[in-house]
Structure 1
Amino acid sequence: MRKQPHSTMTKNIGAAVALAMLWLCSGPALAAENNCMASYYRSKSPACVDETLAQFRQMVARSAPDNLVGFLAELFRASPDERERLLKNEPSNNVRQVYVYSLYRAGLAEEAKKYAAASQLTALLDKLQAARVPVLEAVRPSEIPGDNDTLIGAYMASGNTVFIQRILDNYAGADDAMVSDALRMAYMMSKFGNTLTPKGRDDVMTKAACEKYQCKVDPQKFRRLLTLASAFWSTQSLSAGDEGIKTTMSDFFTRDARLKNLLGAEQAAFGNYMTAIMLITTFKDKRQGADQERAFELMNKSASIYEHFGSGKEAFEPFMNLKK
C-alpha cells in the first residue's frame, strides 16, 4: 500500500479533527440557551415547551437537535394530552419533521405513521426505519455522541435518572486508557471550550487524540472516545444545576473502584496542568534569570506531555525537577 504524502495526511487528519469537534460539541446547545427546558420535569409547564419550540422555529438547522428529539420523545410517550396539543395545527414544516422523528423514537409507531402521512413526511419516516434508528428505550450510547444528548433530553422531560445512568454506563466497558483520555478531553472542554486549548497555546490535543486512536484507520474507536468525552462533559456541566444528575454521577464513580481511581488521577493531572499553565503565563514574557527560564521550560514540557495524552505521572515529572 502506497504511503500518502505528508501534506495529504495532514489535511486528512485536519478534516477528521474538524468533524470530531462537530461531534463532540453537538451537546445540549438548545438546552443551554433554554433554562426552562433543563428543568421542565419539575414544572411540567406547557409554556416552556412552547417557548422551546418557538426558539427552534427561528433556528437555521438542517436537522433537529438530538436533545430536543429526546425531550419530545419522552414527553410524547408519557403525556398523551400534551402530545395531542402539540401535534395539532403545527405551522412549521421543520417542527413537523421533529415531531415525526420524536414520535418514532418514542416507540409510537402508529402515531408516527399517521402523523407522517398527514404531514406529507412519510419519506422521512421510511428513512428512519430503513436506518434502524433505535427508539428511546433502546438507546445505549457507545459510539454516537448524539445518543448522549438524546438521553439528556429525555431526562429533562422526565427527571428519570435512568437516562443519565445509561449515558455513564458507557464508561464501564471502556479500557483504562480510553477512560482517562476521555475524562481529560472533557475537563479541557469544560475549561477551554471546543478547541480544548488555553489561550496562547497551540491547538494540539484533538489532533493528538486523532493520531493516537488512528481516526482515519479506525473511526469507530475514535468515535467511542468522543462519545465518552461528550458524556462526561455534558453531564458534569448540567450537574452544577441539577441534583439528580450530580447524585447519579457521584454514585456511579464511587461504586466502581476502577473508575473512581481513574477519575481521581485525571482530576489531579488536570490540577497540575492548570498550575503549569498559570506558571507559563506568568513567565512567558517576563523571564528574568536562569531560574525563571528553567521554570518556564519545565512547565511548558509538563503541559505538552499532558496535551499529548502522556500519563499524569509523566506530566508531573517536570514539577519534581522544578523542586531540585
Structure 2
Amino acid sequence: MISSLSPGVAFAAGDGCMASYYRSKSPVCIDDTLAQLRQTATSGRADPNTIIGFLGELFRSSPQERERLLKAESSDYVKSVDIISLYRAGLPDEAQKFAAANSLSGLSDRLRAARMPPLDAVTPSSTPADNDLLIGAYMASGNTAHIRRILDNYSSADDGMASDGLRVGFMMSKFGPGLAPKGRDSVTSKVACAKYDCKADKSKFLRVMTLGTAMWSLQSLSAQDDGIKKTLSEFFSRDARLKNLFAAEQAAFGNYLTAILFVSTFQKDGAGADQDQAYELMSKSASIYERFGSGKEAFEPFMNLKK
C-alpha cells in the first residue's frame, strides 16, 4: 500500500531538468519531460501528480507556453493530463475548450463535477498525492509557498501523529517505501494501519502517510535545492513544539540505526552470553521503534545493556 503513495515525486526527482526548471526556464526541459510522460502511457505507472502540478503552475503563469504545448500535443494520454492540469491551474474554461477540441469532453465533465481544487487551494492532509502536486508546482515556479503548505500539515497534527509522520518519513528516506532495512520484516505500515484503525476509516492512517511522504520527498529534494532546504529548516526551527518533536524523532532514529547495525553484524550464534544478551536487547529496541514505541521506550534496552 505504501509503495503506491508517492510515485509522482520519485519520477520527478529523478529528472534533473524538471527539478531545476524554475531556474533555467528551458522549453527543451519541458519537451523532454513530456516525452518521458508519453512513454508512461503504456508502462502501467501511477498517475503523474508531480507533473500535473508542474504543468498546472506552468499553464497558469505562462500563457504563451501553455498555447505552444497544447497546440503541439499529439498523445491522447498527455492530452488527458493537460486537461487535469488546466483544472489545477484554475482554468476550467480553457480545459473544457481543449477537451471538446480533442474528443475528451467526458473526462472534462467528470473533473468539473468533482470540483477539483486549483493548486492555490490544495492543502495536504490525508492525500499523499497533494504533496506531489505542490512539489511539481514548486519545480515550475520556485515559489516556496507551495512547500510551506505541504509542511503546514505538521502544524495542525497533534504530537502523536506528527511524531509518527516524522518516523515514517525518516524510515522511508533511509529504506524506501518498505520502511524496513534488508533482512528485517516490514511491520511499520501494518502497525500504523492497526494503530489508526485503517480498516474502519483510512483517513488518519493516510494522514500519517501523507506526513511521512512529505518528509521523505522534501528531505530528498533538499539535498540539491537550497530553497526547499531553507524552507524545511526554518519551518521546524521556528515552532518550538515541532522543533522538539523533530529532535526527539531524529535521536530515536539514530538509536534505531545503531540497534539494527548491531543486530545485522552480531547474529545470535552462541558466541557468548554477553553477546547474546546484547543481541536480544538491541533486537528488542529495534522492534519497539518499528512498532511506534516512544523514543524513551525504544531506548530503554540500550540502558539495560549499559547496566
- TM-score interval for Structure 1 and Structure 2 normalised by the shorter chain: over 0.9
Partner of residue 15 from structure 2, selected from 22, 34, 46: 34
Which residue number in structure 2 is paired with residue 249 of structure 1?
A: 232
Structure 2: 5+ residue stretches without partners:
none
Q: How does 1:57-96 map to 2 (within 5 A)?
A: 57-59=38-40, 60-61=43-44, 64-96=47-79
Q: How does 1:10-159 map to 2 (within 5 A)?
A: 18=1, 20-23=2-5, 25-59=6-40, 60-61=43-44, 64-159=47-142
Alpha-carbon contact 2:165-2:211 (below 8 Å) kept: yes
Counterpart-to-counterpart distance in 2, 1:228 and 1:238: 16
Q: How does 1:291-306 map to 2 (within 5 A)?
A: 291-306=274-289
Q: CA deviation at 1:110?
A: 1.6
Q: How does 1:244-323 map to 2 (within 5 A)?
A: 244-284=227-267, 287-323=270-306
Q: CA deviation at 1:63?
A: 6.0
For 2:133, give the aligned amino acid: T
Q: 1:58 aligns to what SS in structure 2?
A: helix
Structure 1 ranges of 4+ moved more than 2 A: 60-64
For 1:56, give the aligned amino acid: L
Counterpart-to-counterpart distance in 1, 2:122 and 2:236: 21
For normalisation by structure 1, the TM-score amounts to 0.92
Which residue number in structure 2 is paired with residue 222 of structure 1?
A: 205
Q: How does 1:157-168 map to 2 (within 5 A)?
A: 157-168=140-151
Q: CA deviation at 1:119?
A: 0.8
How many positions carry a matched residue from both structures? 305
Which digits, 9 at most, give the CA deviation of each residue in 1:208-259, with x for residues without a partner? 1111011101211111111111111111110010000000011100010000
Counterpart-to-counterpart distance in 2, 1:62 and 1:48: 21
Segment of structure 1 superposing worse, 84-93 or 307-316: 84-93
Which residue number in structure 1 is paired with residue 182 of structure 2?
A: 199
Counterpart-to-counterpart distance in 2, 1:224 and 1:206: 13
Counterpart-to-counterpart distance in 1, 2:25 and 2:70: 17
Computed over aligned residues only, the root mean square deviation of the Cα atoms, in angstroms, reads 1.2
Which digits, 9 at most, give the CA deviation of each residue in 1:247-297, with x for residues without a partner? 001110001000000000000000000000111012115551111000000
Counterpart-to-counterpart distance in 2, 1:189 and 1:63: 19
Partner of residue 215 from structure 2, selected from 232, 245, 268: 232
Counterpart-to-counterpart distance in 2, 1:65 and 1:252: 27
Q: CA deviation at 1:202?
A: 1.2
Which digits, 9 at most, give the CA deviation of each residue in 1:13-40, with x for residues without a partner? xxxxx3x4412x3341221221100000
Alpha-carbon contact 1:26-1:145 (below 8 Å) kept: no
Which digits, 9 at most, give the CA deviation of each residue in 1:137-180, with x for residues without a partner? 11010110000000000000000000000000000000001011
For 1:51, give the aligned amino acid: D
Task: Return the structure number with greater relative CO, CA threshold 8 A, min gap 6.
Answer: 1
Counterpart-to-counterpart distance in 1, 2:196 and 2:70: 44
Which digits, 9 at most, give the CA deviation of each residue in 1:168-198, with x for residues without a partner? 0000000001011111011111111111011
For normalisation by structure 2, the TM-score amounts to 0.97
Structure 1: 5+ residue stretches without partners:
1-17
For 1:308, give the aligned amino acid: R
Counterpart-to-counterpart distance in 2, 1:61 and 1:289: 52
Identity of counterpart residues, as a percentage?
A: 64
Alpha-carbon contact 1:301-1:318 (below 8 Å) kept: yes
Segment of structure 1 superposing worse, 288-297 or 59-68: 59-68
For 2:205, give the aligned amino acid: F
For 1:179, give the aligned amino acid: A
Alpha-carbon contact 1:186-1:229 (below 8 Å) kept: yes
